[in-house]
Amino acid sequence: MEPIISTKDLMRTFGGVTALNLVSLDIYDKQLRSIIGPNGAGKTTLINVITGKLGASGGEVFYRGQPITNYSVHKRVRMGICRTFQINSIFMGLTVYENIRIATQLHLGGSGRVFARRTSLKKVNQEAESIVDRLNLNEVAYQSVENLAYGDQRLVEVGIALACDPKVLLLDEPTAGMSPKETRHIARLIQELAKEVAVVLVEHDVELVMTISDRLTVLHQGGIIAEGPPQEISNNCDVKDAYLGSTKWAPLLETD
């Protein structure tokens, strides 16, 4: 099977610091791939380079075999490479519904229509509503997102990415700052999504990662040190070293 996203020898440096070092990675459709690693391992940088927020210093990114390394962000999104942000990045002045709707509008088309009403794009509205339903945000659908609880804002963050009609969904710590209950909700959602599209999950909640992932990739100092199914990774010595080397992250593996 052809990977949906692959990177080949991807490099990214900031000044003299190497954030990504020869990262080669294949991500397949309908797979839940998690990327873990200590702080500063380059996880978010990897997502940024794949989605085009940052350019690559070397190496290539492929989408279904096609090189997209120099594509602009919006072009990649149109191809189906969508993401969420570690720190909420949503349209604060708009309602939940509008937040979702703008994303559906972009992939379903109609943005060039200058004098039509927004309501006239029936398909767009229906899909936006179905996504709002799916996220369980019906009750607050017409509230400005700035008035929402943090957990709900986090859901909107995921919802926007979802509404872009993703083929690959890159989620950057979607559960950060959420309550256990909300985390369970999100986890269920992610598992469901992985049945439809490829999901790349960057997550600190190791317990969550271990239970829901199909495959894990461990980054350390910008390079991949291990890759495989969760079970295999948790027994991997390199990974333990990487985490244990920095005491701050040690407890993470002991959550079990």
Partner 1 sequence: MSNRTNQAPGSLLRRWSGAHPLSLGGFVLVVAGMVVLPLVVTNPFYQNLWTRILIFGLLAMSLDVLLGFTGLLSFMHNSYLGLAAYAAGLFTINVNPESLWLAMLVGVVFTMIIAWPVGWLQVRTGGLAFALLTMAFGMMYYTVAWKWHDVTGGDDGLVAAIEHGLPKVAEEGMVPYLDINLGPWNLGNTSDPVHVYYLVLFIVVVAFILTHRMVNSPLGAVLEAIRENEERASFVGINVRRFKLIGWLVACGLAGLAGTLWMFLERNIAPDTMHAFEGAEVLMMVLLGGMGSLWGPFLGAGIFILLKDCLSSATEHWEIYVGLVVIFLVLFLPKGVAGLSSMLRRKPSENK
Residue ranges binding partner 1 (CB under 8 A)? 51, 53, 72-74, 77-78, 82-83, 85, 89-95, 97-98, 101-103, 105-107, 110-122, 124-126, 129, 142, 144, 146-147, 160-161, 163-164
Q: Which residues contact 99 (CB under 8 A, 6 or more apart)?
A: 90, 91, 145, 156, 159, 160
We find the least distance from the C-beta atom of residue 250 to partner 1, in angstroms, to be 34
- Is the distance from CB of 152 to CB of 100 less than 8 angstroms? no
CB nearer to partner 1: pick between 54 and 253: 54
- Is the distance from CB of 153 to CB of 137 less than 8 angstroms? no
CB nearer to partner 1: pick between 118 and 188: 118
We find the least distance from the C-beta atom of residue 50 to partner 1, in angstroms, to be 12
CB nearer to partner 1: pick between 110 and 223: 110
CB nearer to partner 1: pick between 21 and 99: 99
The rounded distance, in Å, linking the Cα atoms of 86 and 154 is 9
Q: Across the strands, what pairs with 17?
A: 14
DSSP 37: -
The rounded distance, in Å, linking the Cα atoms of 130 and 136 is 10
We find the least distance from the C-beta atom of residue 36 to partner 1, in angstroms, to be 23
We find the least distance from the C-beta atom of residue 220 to partner 1, in angstroms, to be 27
We find the least distance from the C-beta atom of residue 222 to partner 1, in angstroms, to be 24
SS3 state of residue 239? helix
The rounded distance, in Å, linking the Cα atoms of 223 and 41 is 8
- Is the distance from CB of 37 to CB of 238 less than 8 angstroms? no
The rounded distance, in Å, linking the Cα atoms of 42 and 30 is 24
We find the least distance from the C-beta atom of residue 95 to partner 1, in angstroms, to be 6
CB nearer to partner 1: pick between 27 and 102: 102
CB nearer to partner 1: pick between 159 and 222: 159
